[in-house]
Amino acid sequence: MKKNMAIFALSAIFLFSCGKKKDDSASQDTANPFFKTWTTPYGIPPFEEIKAEHYIPAFERGMEEQIAEIDAIVNNPEAPTFENTILALEYSGELLYNVAAVFFNLMEAVNSPEMEKIAENISPKLSKHSDNIGLNPELFKRIKTVYDNKENLNLTAEQMRLLEENYKSFVRGGANIPVEQQPRFREINEKLSLLTLKFGNNVLKATNNYKLVVDDVAQLEGMPKGQLEAALEAGKADKATEGKYVFTIHLPSMEPFLMNCKNRELRKELWTAYSTRCSSDSLDNSEIINEIVNLRLERANILGFPSHAAYVLDDCMAKTPEAVNNLLMQVWKPALAKAKKEAQEYQKMIIAEGNSFKLAPYDWRYYSEQLRKAKYDLDDDVIRPYLSLENVKEGIFTVCDKLYGISFKENNELPKYHPDVETYEVMENDQVIAILYLDFFPRESKRSGAWMTNFREQYVKDGKNVIPIVSLVCNFTKPTAEVPSLLNFDETSTFFHEFGHGLHSILSKCTYRSLSGTNVPRDFVELPSQFFEHWATEPEVMKMYAKHYATGETIPDELIDKLEKAATYGQGFINTELLAASFLDMDYYTITKPTNITLPEYENAAMKKIGLIPEIISRYKSPYFQHIFSGGYSSGYYSYTWAAVLDNDAFEPFKEKGVFDSETAKSFRTNILEKGNTEEPMTLYIKYRGQEPSIEPLLKNRGLK
């Protein structure tokens, strides 16, 4: 998942404005690191110097500085030009960008009650600031003047793209809406900024609040030794649970438990806690969802769109909800048919065991794992020892070197925001081209999941290339005193996935920050990440990184063969739960009239409409569906499937010519990874592939054809 909280918070890099009195206190300037030139290596944020009390003054001054810069643009007596209007806008708000990039990223990774209060304070102010610029008629007038004269300006292709994207962003930000509707438009944006923040905070708290504590190891029959050790280690965090086995609903703890624990009642207890998060009590997100959906609809209507989905998709490759649903249905029908066959197989296993209960969602992973062992002689506990986090990481580094000629040099002297974080200089031809942060393990201050983000994006200013500062944040099982962090194959793919996002930013070669790296349409941003996942499963690559953590033995051919034969195993479930979430997202955001949404009735109706079987739930149930209610994927969760069509088609040349074919790798780098949003995504894709993508490789690779 690509997630840049700073960018989400700012809406767009140029949309800010506010009006606070400036504090000229010299002592404050001295104490606040945001008011100094950072002398850290590569201009990395000086994390150890930044305290909670520094954020509000820095946000407020950042908004003041940008409003002064905007005023200078608006009051410029010279006629509007690309340089004095578009470029001036692009480079405005440097302080605000810096403080937001630090604050909102740390909110995700090292959150605290104090940070939450700051966010509640500053989010509506940022929303107001953004609207003040986006709705500034004199500023838009200058932009429109340049835009209307664009054919006579002799602009480069990238300059033209920047101009067009600026103009489009102002229009989409409300620049053309009638004056009488602007107060309500502003009010909606402010409300949404707080509601989405509260939604995410509730999910984080609910996830951290639950622990399954087991006293007797006999109740944990089937659990791998490594997972039991990790559960004992988790118990040490609290005196009340020391010496006991503690499991949580963070995925590294929950997934192995559901896959391996024979105790059905314990599986049910853990699953229920996971799947009912934020649906009751003080952390209930139900009413928040209702408000978010209706406010987004109202905002879309003000902007001239019939639904929020129509508004969002107008700026994506898909363009329309109809195109999204057409794609999803092409995959849904064969995936659902396969899922039904999988359910029948698992029910037969239940009956063969002498049981009469009906397969339930908390049984699915357990029987899927049992059947996988029986069919393919594949045991998750046998695979994990070959997938130590350290070995997988080194394998990824090797793949990057072979494909793109870049290497990673660890530098522990670089500033860190948490002791667990690893820091690297990314090298090419003996030059540092990026800084990379790797943050692997769960903690209560970190939200669940995995994502890539930036503390700074790549761009060029005054002829100097500014290198990106990239961060990959995951939640893998922590190492114990005896055993390193061991991944399963899904987690290995997740690591490759996030690294693919990272490469999109690391290898960016763009002039303008707002166009660089991952600043592309939502349904294109997942192409580089999902594309890079293909290398995780290639036998040639696996032999580079899959080495037994204790013996150093390379993964045997026999085990690779088993993995290849099982490659499409379980794809009915995997695709069905993903697509169900995509349909649910579209259901919420294709409503065209204000709706009184009640849960779980609304969600149940949506799932019934597409025929989802009761043994499977949507990958995310509504109350904790952060992607669409507190992240940047509203009307965009389909993008994982849209990008899957692209990535499977994009990998075909490597299958034909070799997974490290230099010519193909160079083409993907120069046409996709380096280009950011400097051209239309489909144009870039065709330059790489020579044709538009076909859905056939996706259906074939997932065993759905």
Polymer length of the chain: 705
What is the separation of C-alpha 670 from the centre of its chain, rounded to a whole number of angstroms? 24
In the numeric block, the tokens 């699915």 are attached to 364
What CA–CA distance (Å, rounded) separates 676 from 673?
7
What CA–CA distance (Å, rounded) separates 506 from 499?
10
Close Cβ partners of 314 (under 8 Å, ≥ 6 residues apart): 172, 305
> Pairing state of beta strands 245-247 and 407-410?
unpaired
DSSP 512-561: -GGGSTT-S-HHHHHHHHHHHHHHHH-HHHHHHH-B-TTT-PBPPHHHHH
Neighbouring CB atoms inside 10 A of 223's CB total: 23
> Pairing state of beta strands 469-473 and 431-439?
parallel
622, 275 Cβ separation under 8 angstroms: no
173, two tokens: 């930000």
Give which of 369, 573, 575 is closest to 489, Cα–Cα.
Answer: 369
Q: Is 526 a catalytic residue?
A: no
202, two tokens: 């509730």
What CA–CA distance (Å, rounded) separates 411 from 432?
12
Which is the catalytic residue, given 90, 165, 491, 498?
498
Q: Which residues make beta-bridge pairs with 409? A: 425
41, 35 Cβ separation under 8 angstroms: no
Q: Which helix (H) or strand (E) holds 438?
A: strand 431-439
217, 245 Cβ separation under 8 angstroms: yes
Q: In terms of C-beta density within 10 A (0-12 exposed, 13-18 middle, 19 or more buried), how is residue 243 classed?
A: exposed
Report CA dihedral (58, 62, 63, 68) to the nearest 10 degrees. 140
Ramachandran sector of residue 424 (left: φ over 0; alpha: ψ -120 to 50; beta: rest):
beta
Q: For 364-371, which contacts have Cβ atoms below 8 Å and span 24 or more sequence positions?
A: 364/573, 364/615, 364/616, 365/255, 365/258, 365/259, 366/258, 366/259, 366/260, 366/261, 366/262, 366/267, 368/259, 368/342, 368/570, 368/573, 369/259, 369/260, 371/345, 371/346
What CA–CA distance (Å, rounded) separates 491 from 470?
20
Report CA dihedral (34, 38, 40, 45) to the nearest 10 degrees. 30
User: For the stretch 65-96, what's the b/e string if a residue is b when 16 or more beta carbons lie within 10 angstroms of its beta carbon?
Assistant: bbbebbeebbeeeeebbbebbbbbbbbbbebb
Give which of 704, 698, 587 is closest to 651, Cα–Cα.
Answer: 698
Residues belonging to the active site:
498
